[in-house]
Amino acid sequence: MNFKDNFEKKTKERIISTVLELLDKNPESNVERIFSLLRKSIKDEYSLKIVEDVYVQYSNSPNIQEYVKNILKNTDKNCLKKFFKNMLGNALWYGVSKREKIGTDNDIKIPFTLLISPSMRCNLHCTGCYAANYCKKDDIPYEEVDRLVKEARDLGIYYIIVLGGEPFFNEYMLDIYKKYNDIYFMPFTNGTLFDEPLVDKLQSLGNVMPMLSVEGFKKETDTRRGDGIFNSVMKGMDLLNEKGVPFGASVATGNNNINTVISNQFIDMLYEKGARMLWYFMFMPVGDNPVQDINYMLSPTERLTLGKRTREIRKEMKLFPIDFFNDAPYVGGCIAGKYYCHINSKEDLEPCIFSHFATENVKNKPLLEALKCDYFKELRKRHPYNKNLLLPCPMIDNPAQIREIVKFTGAKPTHPSAEIMIKDKEFIDKIDKLAANFKPYADEAFEKEFNSKGNYDMSKG
C-alpha cells in the first residue's frame, strides 16, 4: 500500500471511529451530528454526493427518519457498529476506490459483492429449488472458503452473501465470520436452525445479517417448504429480534403467492417481527424440472404489480424492500458478472445465482485470475441487453442472448437445468413465448413509471 492509499485508509478509519463513538452513546439522537461529521470530513466528490443524497432523502421523509431511528434504537450496539463499519465504511466507502484501482490495473470489473455457496446441502426439499440433492462430500472445504474470502477482501470486496443449500449447515462458516470481522456477511437461510446459542453467537459476531426465506404465511410457506416450517421461521425471527440481531426476509415470488407477499398484512407481520429488509426474488425455472416449473412464474401483470408494490412499500419504509428484477432500472439492468457473481459448491464461477453456466473454476486458481474470463467480459460488453431496463435478464427477458453468449464463449452448464435452458426445444419455446408476451407490458410500464429512463451509467459497470 503506497503512502496516499495508506493516508486515505487512516483518514477514513478515523472518521468511522468517531461515528462509532456516537453510535455507542445515544445513536438515535446523534443522526444529525453523524451527517454533519461526514459532510465536513469527506473530501472526494463521489462519496460526498452519496452522503448528501442520503441526507436529503432522510430530511424530507418522516417515514425514513422513523425507520432509521427504529434501527438505531433497537439494534444491538455491536451489530449496529459492525454494520456501519463493515458495510457502510468498508464495502461502500473504502472498498470503492480499492476495487476500481485493481479493476483498472487488470482490465476487469471487481464485483461489489461475492456470492458463495459453501454447501448445497439442505434439510428441506422446496418446490423448484436446485439444492438438497447433495451430501457433505460436495461441500467446499474450510481451507478453500478461507482462501476465497481472503482473496475477495484483498480485492476490496467487503460484502459477501452466503447461499446454499442451507448456509448454517456448515458450522465452520461461523469461524469464517469471526476471522474476517471487517467483512459484512449476509447468509440466505431457510430459518429452521436458529436456536438461542446460535443467535447469541451472531450477536457476539455482529457482522452477520441473516435473510430468512418465507413464502407468505403458514399456508404458502408450508405448502412449498414442508409442514411446520413457517412456525420455525417465526421462532427464528423472534429469537433474532429479542437479541437485537438485524435480519431480513427473502421471498421467492410466484403466481401462487404474489397476492399474499405484497399484502399489507404480510408487510405488517414482518415489521412486527423486526425485519429490516425484504428481498423479492421472482420465481425462476432453474430447479430439477424447469420445463414444469416455468408454470409457477409470474404473469406480465403480476410481475409489474410486484415492482409497483415494492416502490410503494419503500415509501412507507416500515422495512426496506428490494425487487431483484423490477429494480433493474436503478442499477443499469442486469448486474451479473459485473456487480456480483457466484461461486457454487463445485467452485465454478457463475455470473449469477440463477445462471448456471461457467468457463472458470476457482479451485486452486486465484479469484483475480478467474474474474478476467472472457465470459464475464462478454456479458458486460452486451449490457444492457435491452434499452428497456425492465427487461434486464438474458435468460427470461432476452433468452436468445444467453444462448448466443454460451455458444460464443464456450461456457458450460453447471447444473442440468442450465443445459435444458439452451438445448431443450420445449423449454426454449416456452421461455421465448414468455419473453415475447412480457415485452409490450414492460415497454408500457417503462415509459409510464420510469419515463423511459434508467441508470445507464451503471449498465457497463
Write out the chain's pLDDT in tens, 461 residues: 555 566 667 777 788 888 888 888 888 888 888 888 888 777 667 777 878 888 898 999 999 999 999 999 999 999 999 999 999 889 988 898 899 999 999 999 999 999 999 997 777 666 655 554 555 567 899 999 999 999 999 999 999 999 988 999 888 999 999 999 999 999 999 999 999 999 999 999 999 999 999 999 999 888 878 889 999 999 999 999 999 999 999 999 999 999 999 999 999 999 999 999 999 999 898 877 888 889 899 999 999 999 999 999 999 999 999 999 999 999 999 999 999 999 999 999 999 999 999 999 999 999 999 999 999 999 999 999 999 999 999 999 999 999 999 999 999 999 888 999 999 999 999 999 999 999 999 999 999 999 999 999 998 77
List, in order, residues 6 or more apart from 381 with CB less than 8 Å away.
none
How far apart CA 148 and CA 343 sit, in angstroms, is 9
Does one domain contain both 23 and 115? no
Handedness of CA 456, 335, 158, 195 (dihedral sign): positive
CB 11 within 8 A of CB 97: no
Distance CA 101, CA 92 (A): 15
- Whether residue 377 contacts residue 351, with contact meaning beta carbons closer than 8 Å, is answered with no
CA distance 427 to 128: 15
Range of the domain at 37: 3-103
* Same domain? 92 vs 221: no
Is 146 found in the same domain as 27? no
Show which of 76, 103, 130 is a domain's final residue.
103
Domain C-terminal end among 52, 87, 103? 103
* Structural domain count of the chain: 2
Residues 49 and 195 both lie in one domain? no
Contact status, residue 372 vs residue 411, Cβ threshold 8 Å = no
pTM for the model stands at 0.94
**Final residue of a domain: which of 103, 135, 155?**
103
Q: What is the pLDDT of residue 132?
A: 47
Shared domain for 44 and 127, answered yes or no, is: no
- Strand boundaries in 344-426, DSSP class E: 348-350, 357-358, 360-361, 412-413
Residues 224 and 89 occupy one common structural domain: no
Please state, in angstroms and rounded to a whole number, the distance separating the CA atoms of residues 282 and 323: 8
Residue 282: phi, psi to the nearest 5?
A: -75, 135
Segment 3-8 long-range contacts (CB within 8 Å, at least 24 positions apart)? 8/94, 8/97
CATH label of the domain that carries residue 252: 3.20.20.70
Do both 195 and 247 map to the same domain? yes
DSSP 3-state of 390? coil
Return d(Cα 298, Cα 283) in angstroms, integer: 7
Full DSSP string of 250-308: EEEE-TTTHHHHTSHHHHHHHHHHT--EEEEEE--S-SS-HHHHGGGSPPHHHHHHHHH
Q: Are 112 and 86 in the same domain?
A: no
